[in-house]
Chains A and B, each alone.
Chain A
Amino acid sequence: MASRFADIPFAPSVEVFELVAKFNADPHPNKVNLSVGAYRTDEGKPWVLPVVRKVEQAMVADDSLTKEYLPITGMPEFCEVATSLVLGADSQAIATKRAGGVQGLSGTGSLRLAMTFLKEQCGAKACLNSKPTWGNHLLMFRHLHYEDIREYRYWDPSTKGLDFSGMLVDFRAAPDKSVVVLHACAHNPTGVDPSHEQWKDICKVVQEKKFYVIFDCAYQGFASGDLDKDAWAVRYFVSQGVELFIAQSFAKNFGLYNERVGNLCVVAATPDALERIKSQVKLIVRGNYSNPPAHGARVVNTTLRDPELYSEWKGCIKTMANRVLAMRKALRDRLEALGTPGKWNHITDQIGMFSYTGLTQAQVAYLVEHYHIYLMKSGRVSMCGLSTSNLDYVAKAMHDAITKITT
C-alpha cells in the first residue's frame, strides 16, 4: 500500500537540538554543553527553584484544588500579577485599566498570539527582526505567512556590540506599521542590549514609523538579578504612550520550562481598545488550543502573591543571575590572563544567559571536534553551561582555537 504522504520531505533539524543530541551521545569525560538555554547549577545540573518545589508540595496537599478548565484567556489572577510584574505595580497603564494579560503557552505561545492577532486583525504584512535573533521568531512569522520578513542590523562583529546606527537606518527603511520584535533584555543570541539612551531613540523611531511593537521578555530578573532594572525598556515605552505587546515567559526566571507558563501582556491606549484586543486574542486561543494549562500558572500566581514566597523567589533569581555574572567575569579573566588575542570585555558587557563570543565557525567546529565543547556555529555560548570545574578547560580551549585558527 502506498502512503498518501510518501512525497513529504524530511524536515531539517533545528541546530540547537542536534547539538544537544550530539553532546548527549558523546562519551568524552570532559565534554561541555554550552548550547542550550536552560539554567544549570555549578554542578551542571538543572535547578528546580526551592520556592517552586515548596509551592508544588502545598498544591498537592490542597484538596480544594480541582483540575477544571481555566478560562480561555487563562487564570485571571495569574494574568493580573504577571502584568503587574512586568509593568510595575504602580503602573499608570494598569491603574487606568488599559493594560491586561492573556495567559499564553510560555514565551513562544504568547509571541504566537500577538503575531497572529496583528496579521489577522490589523492586516500586518511586514515584520522586523534583529539580525541575529532567536531562530524561532523567523519560523513563526513564516508559518503565519507574513509577506515581508525583514531583519534590522543589530550585532556588530567589529565591536562585538550593538550596530545602533544600522539598526535605526533599517527601522526607517521598513514600511510604516511593520511589526517589530524587540528583546526586552538579555538579547538572544547576542547578550547585547541597547543602553537607556539608545532605547529612548529607538522608541522615537518606533513611534515615528507607527510600528506594532512586540517585546519578547523571556529573562526578567534573570538578566541583572533585578526585576525592575530588566523591565526598564518596556516600562519606558509604556510611559511614552506606545501601544504594545509583551510576550512574557516564566520558563527561565521560575525554572518552569516544561510547564509552559507565559503571559501576553497587552498595553493599549484605552480600556476599550484593550477589551477589543483581548476578545480577539481569546478567539485565537480557542481555535488553537481552547484554554491554557493550569499547573504552572498556579505555581507562579501563588508565589507572586505571597510576600514571603515572593521574597524567596527574588532570592532564587539573584542566585541564578549572580552565578551567570560570576561565570562571565571568570571566563573573561581567564582569557585575559592567557593573553588570548582580541578584546574580551564583551563577555562581561553582554548580559543574560547568552554571549556572542565572536568565535568563527571554523573555531567553533574545532572546539566541538577537538575539545568536545558544544556551542552554536554562530559562536553563541550559553553561560549556564560554564562551571567552576570546566572554566579552565573552556578558556584554554578557546585560547587554543583562536590562536590556531585564524579564519
Chain B
Amino acid sequence: MMSKNLDHEYAPIGGSAEFCKEAANLAFGEGNEYVKNNLNATVQGISGTGSLRIGAAFLSKFFPGNKVVYMPSPTWGNHGPIFKHAGLDVASYRYYDKNTCGFDFQGAMDDIKNIPDKSIILLHACAHNPTGVDPKPEQWKEMSQAIKSKNIFPYFDMAYQGFASSDFDQDAMPIRQFLADGHQIALAQSFAKNMGLYGERAGAFSLTCISKEEAERNMSQIKILIRALYSNPPIHGAKIASTVLTTPDLKTQWIGEVKGMANRIISMRKQLQDNLVQLGSSRNWQHITDQIGMFCFTGLNPQQCEKLTKDFHVYLTKDGRISIAGITTKNVNHLAQGIHECSK
C-alpha cells in the first residue's frame, strides 16, 4: 500500500466500493446474485459495532414493522446499548441452555413463535458471543421457516466468518440459508478478528434488496445517516482488507492464516477438555469442544469464577465465559487445574 503512494482524500460516504463488494461477496458467496445484480446496499462501517449501529439507525427511521429487536439470551453486552442508542427497543428469545451448556432449540423456537409479526430478530451467524453455542444446520432451517412465517426481519451479526470453523462458507451458511429461503436480511460484518484488524475498524453493513432501484434508494438514505454520524469512514483498515481479498496470493495466504487461528483455538479447546478429564473431573466437559469460536461458556457460576480469579489468578467474566484465545500450551494445565478445583 505504501509503495502505491495513495493519497488521504475523503472516502465516499459509503466507503471504498471495492471493499464493500469484496465484503458482500465473502458473506454471500462467490458469484452470488446479489452482488452480480446490484441487489445489495452495502456500506463500510466502523467494524462490527459501527455496522450494527448504521443498520440500527436505518431500521429505527425506516423499518415499517414492529421496531423491537429480539436478541438471543444471552448476547454480546453491547448489542442492547447499540440498538437503544438508535432508538429501538430490545427484547429477548431463549438461546442458551445452562443445563446442557448447549442450544435451547425448543425454547428458541417457542419464543420465536411468540414474537410479534414484523419484528426484528438478531441472529449471530456463527461462533455465538458469549456462549460459543451455535444451532445445527437443520435447526437453522427450522428457525428460518418460523421467522419467515411471521414476517420477522432477520438482522445477522457476523464477527467470526472463517475464524469459527476455518471454513468461510460453512461459517456463513445460516446467512446463505436465509437468503435461499427468500428472506430480505440485514448483515453487520466485522474484519476485526478474521483479519486481525481490530484497531483499524474494518467492517461492513449490508441490506439485501429486491431490485437495483431499491438498493439505490436504501443506499441514499443510509448515506445520510452516516453523514450525520461521522461523515465518511476511516480507510486504512478497509484498504488492507480489500487488498488482501483482491490479490490472489495474499488471499490464499490469508485463508491459511485464518485456518491457523481457528485451528489453534480448536486445539486449545481439546487440550483443556483432555486435561480436565485427566485430572479426574466428574463433570461433563463435552461442551468445551462442542462450542465454537473464541468464547466458551464453561458453566461455572459467579462464586466459582471468583474463586478461580482469587486463587488461580485466572481472569474471566462472572458469567463463566472464557476466551479460548487466552489459552496457550504454557497455561492450559494451570487453567485446567483451576477449573477443576473450583468445580469439584
Q: Which of the residues A8, A48, A56, A112 comes within 8 Å of B229, measured between beta carbons?
A: A112
Question: In the bound complex, do residue B237 and residue A258 qualify as a contact, i.e. CB atoms below 8 Å apart?
Answer: no
- Please report the number of residue pairs spanning A and B whose Cβ atoms sit closer than 8 angstroms: 162
Which chain A residues in 87-121 approach chain B with CB under 8 Å? 105-106, 108-109, 112
**Chain B contacts for A108, CB-based, 8 A:** 227, 229-231
Contacts of B84 in A (CB 8 A): 287
Task: Fill in one digit per residue for A1-40: 1 if any B CB lies within 8 Å of its CB, else 0.
Answer: 1111111111101100100000000000000000000100
Whether A48 pairs with B8 at a CB distance below 8 angstroms is yes
Determine if A186 is an interface residue (Cβ-Cβ < 8 Å). Answer: no
- With contact pairs A46-B9, A288-B85 given, residues A259 and B201 touching in the complex (Cβ less than 8 Å): no
**Which A residues lie within 8 Å of B49 (CB)?**
286, 288-290
- Shortest CB distance A23–B (Å): 14
**Proximity string of chain A (117-143) to chain B, C-beta cutoff 8 Å, 1 when within and 0 when not:** 000000000000000000010011011
B2 — which chain A residues lie within 8 A by C-beta?
Answer: 56-57, 60
Asked whether any CB of chain B lies closer than 8 Å to the CB of A70, the reply is yes
A204 within 8 A of B: no
Q: How far is A142 from B209 in the complex, measured between Cα atoms in Å? A: 27
Find chain B residues with CB under 8 A from A9 CB.
Answer: 217, 221
Q: A384 vs B225: C-alpha distance in the bound complex, in angstroms?
A: 28
A136-B227 CB under 8 A given contacts A8-B221, A38-B10: yes
Nearest chain B CB to A303's CB is how many angstroms away? 14
Assess whether A257 is interfacial by the CB under 8 Å rule. Answer: yes
A13 to B227, CA, bound (A): 11
What separation, in Å, do the CA atoms of A257 and B233 have in the docked complex? 10
A287/B232 in contact, CB under 8 A: no
Q: Is the pair B200, A295 in contact by a Cβ cutoff of 8 Å?
A: yes
B63 interfacial contact with A, CB 8 Å: yes
Q: Which residues of the partner chain A approach B237 to less than 8 Å between Cβ atoms? A: 293, 295
Residues in chain A near residue B10, CB distance under 8 A = 38, 251, 257-258
Which of B7, B8, B11, B224 contacts A11, CB < 8 Å?
B224
Number of interface residues of B (CB under 8 A): 57
Closest to A47 in B: B7
Q: Which one, A66, A251, A293, contacts B46 given CB within 8 A?
A: A293
Q: Is the CB of A260 within 8 A of B220?
A: no
Of B48, B65, B224, most A-chain CB atoms within 10 Å: B224
B53: which A residues are within 8 A, CB to CB? 287-289
**CA–CA, A251 and B10, complex, Å:** 9
Selected from B81, B85, B209, the residue in CB contact (under 8 A) with A5 is B209
* A112 / chain B contacts, CB cutoff of 8 Å: 228-230
| B81, A287: Cβ atoms closer than 8 Å | yes
Contacts of B153 in A (CB 8 A): 4
Question: A139 contacts B227, CB within 8 Å?
Answer: yes
A116 to chain B: closest residue by CB: B85
Which residue of the partner chain, among B64, B81, B217, contacts A4 with CB atoms under 8 Å? B64
Residue A335, interface by CB 8 Å: no
B37 CB to nearest A CB, Å: 14
Are B8 and A287 within 8 A (Cβ)? no
B235 & A291 in contact (Cβ 8 Å cutoff) = no
Q: Which of A351-407 contact B (CB under 8 A)?
A: none
Give chain B nearest CB distance to A310 CB in angstroms. 19
Q: Which residue of the partner chain A has the closest CB to B208?
A: A3
Residue of A nearest to B41 (CB): A5
* The residue from A52, A57, A69 contacting B8, defined by CB atoms under 8 A apart: A52
Residues of A contacting B: mostly: loop
Task: Identify which of residues 45-77 in chain A touch chain B, using a CB-to-CB cut-off of 8 Å.
Answer: 46-48, 52-53, 56-57, 60, 66-70
Closest to B202 in A: A293
Q: Does A191 contact B (CB under 8 A)?
A: no
Q: Which of A57, A67, A295 lies in contact with B198, CB distance below 8 A?
A: A67
Cα-based distance from A379 to B134 in the complex (angstroms): 58
| Given A3-B209, A290-B78, A296-B234, also A46-B221 (CB < 8 A) | no
Give the distance to chain A from B69, nearest Cβ to Cβ, in Å: 14
Partner of B236, one of A6, A46, A53, A259: A259
Partner of A67, one of B62, B85, B196, B211: B196
- CB-CB under 8 A from A5, the residues of chain B are 62, 64, 184, 207, 209, 214, 217-218
Q: Bound complex: CA of A373 vs CA of B184, how far in Å?
A: 44
Q: Which residues of A are found within 8 Å of B64, using beta-carbon distances?
A: 4-5, 7
B230 x A46 contact (CB < 8 A): no
Q: Hey, which chain A residues are within 8 Å of B198, CB to CB?
A: 67-69
Chain B hits for A292, CB < 8 A: 201
CB distance from A317 to the nearest CB of B (A): 15
Measured CB to CB, the nearest residue on chain B to A113 is B230
With A256-B8, A287-B81, A293-B200 already in contact, 8 other A-B pairs whose C-beta atoms are closer than 8 Å = A9-B221, A38-B10, A48-B5, A48-B7, A112-B230, A258-B8, A259-B235, A286-B49
A-B residue pairs in contact (CB < 8 Å), sample of 20: A4-B63, A5-B184, A10-B220, A17-B13, A48-B7, A52-B8, A53-B5, A68-B198, A106-B230, A139-B227, A139-B228, A257-B8, A257-B9, A258-B234, A259-B8, A286-B49, A287-B53, A288-B82, A289-B49, A293-B234
